[in-house]
Amino acid sequence: MTHLPIYSDPSEQELSSRKNKLLASMEQRGLDCLVITDPDNIYWLTNFANYIHERPFILILPLSGQLTFIIPELERQHARTRSIGNIELDTYYEFPCEEDTAWLAVFQKRISAFKRVGLELNAPQFISNAIPSTTEASELVEEARYVKSDYEICRIVYSCNLATRAMEKLLNMARPGLSLLELHSKITKLMQMQLLSDNPQINPLATNVAAVVQPPNVSHDPHNFTNLMDMDMCQGGPHVSIINGTMNGYGTEVERTFFLGDVPSKAEKPYQVMMDARALCIELCVAGADMHDVDSRVVQLLTKYGYGDNILHRVGHSIGVTGHEGPFLAKGFHHQIQAGMLFTIEPGIYIDGLGGFRHSDTLLVTENGNKVLTPVKDSLRDMTLPIKAFQFKTSPAFKQKMLQVYNRYLGLNL
């Protein structure tokens, strides 16, 4: 099957087939009920995205009977508007409130009917403590999300198409002196407008896109996006650029390592080894392979070329209703890869004083192999970008001026 991009909400049938997948695994595990509090799992089953706060949202899926959603009264209309399928809403007055109208009373009235309740690994203690029956730690929902339906794949193809174009735009904008702030603002706005243009009914609570670049002074520290004023692009590299997130509920990720003008000679080898590791990872990521083995063999290759001490993370994670979830291409994670799974492919090399080397793509495992859904160019030649004239407004002097202007505009005198 060729998966074409789509953008429409899931049908009742799609959501019911997700539920049925779960019911089958509950029966196998001898559970008569699943209690679901993870907002992503709830979204996957209901199409309703929580505005997350201290008020509990609890979805109860019985082996037989009605899917029930316990929510604060405050959210009743909102939940009606966004949820899809046959779901009974049961509300409590407020959190906190007096005992007889509290979430706990509503929950316990419902849950006491069940004998053996499955509960997510990340379920909070206050939920597990409130269940009088036997509970069993379960990853049933997470596991049911591992292999995607055709509908899910088509939604993620859409997200990947948009991320691909956004990355091309980002690479096209790249210039020495361009600030992370301006880049982020421009590219995320483009993505948001495109999303709205394609679907005016988009749910902003299920949408969270990011566009960032780490210049060479921080790209060796892959989760440090926080030094905003010290992250301007510069001549040379490696810069590591990232487009990721969820687009109306369906994730994507694409990342590229690039250089502006010239490539430091010390950067050539790690770039090439990263490319070899990546090619091996894509080759290995096929149905039937063990996820642990994919990571191990890629790490072996990186080690053989002398980068065993420059690895900071596994070679991939999955994508679904989030941009970052299991299953993982990681050592110790012994699960078989199946057709219909999605993975990021992102072996990385991190060298203090030189920078980070990592591409990432979203890859679909098919019956006959796999397919990269984010086909941005990737060779060192293509990723050595010509230095273009500076057309942007974030030179250090201008940045200072801009801040003063904003200061006056908002009229603060703190």
Q: Which CB atom, from 21 or from 165, has the smaller least distance to a second copy?
A: 165
Q: How far is the CB of 76 from a second copy (least distance, A)?
A: 9
Q: Which CB atom, from 77 or from 265, has the smaller least distance to a second copy?
A: 77
**C-beta separation of 257 from 267 below 8 A:** no
Three-class secondary structure of residue 48 per DSSP: coil
Q: How far is the CB of 380 from a second copy (least distance, A)?
A: 25
Q: How far is the CB of 103 from a second copy (least distance, A)?
A: 11
Sheet holding 361-365, edge to edge: 342-345, 361-365, 370-372
Q: How far is the CB of 20 from a second copy (least distance, A)?
A: 26
Q: Which CB atom, from 159 or from 370, has the smaller least distance to a second copy?
A: 159
Q: Which CB atom, from 135 or from 257, has the smaller least distance to a second copy?
A: 135
Q: Which CB atom, from 26 or from 291, has the smaller least distance to a second copy?
A: 291
Three-class secondary structure of residue 224 per DSSP: coil
Q: How far is the CB of 72 from a second copy (least distance, A)?
A: 8
Tokens of 383: 């990723």
Count how many Cα atoms sit within 13 Å of the Cα of residue 264 in the half-sphere of its side chain. Answer: 15
| Burial of 389: CB neighbours in 10 Å, binned 0-12, 13-18, 19+ | exposed
Q: Which CB atom, from 251 or from 263, has the smaller least distance to a second copy?
A: 251
Q: How far is the CB of 261 from a second copy (least distance, A)?
A: 25
Maximal C-alpha separation, the chain? 71
CA 226 centroid distance within chain: 19
Q: Which CB atom, from 95 or from 305, has the smaller least distance to a second copy?
A: 95
Cα(50)–Cα(202) distance, integer angstroms: 14
**C-beta separation of 101 from 92 below 8 A:** yes
Tokens of 129: 């403590």
**C-beta separation of 151 from 10 below 8 A:** yes
Cα(231)–Cα(158) distance, integer angstroms: 30
> What radius of gyration, in Å, describes the C-alpha atoms of the chain?
24
Q: How far is the CB of 265 from a second copy (least distance, A)?
A: 25
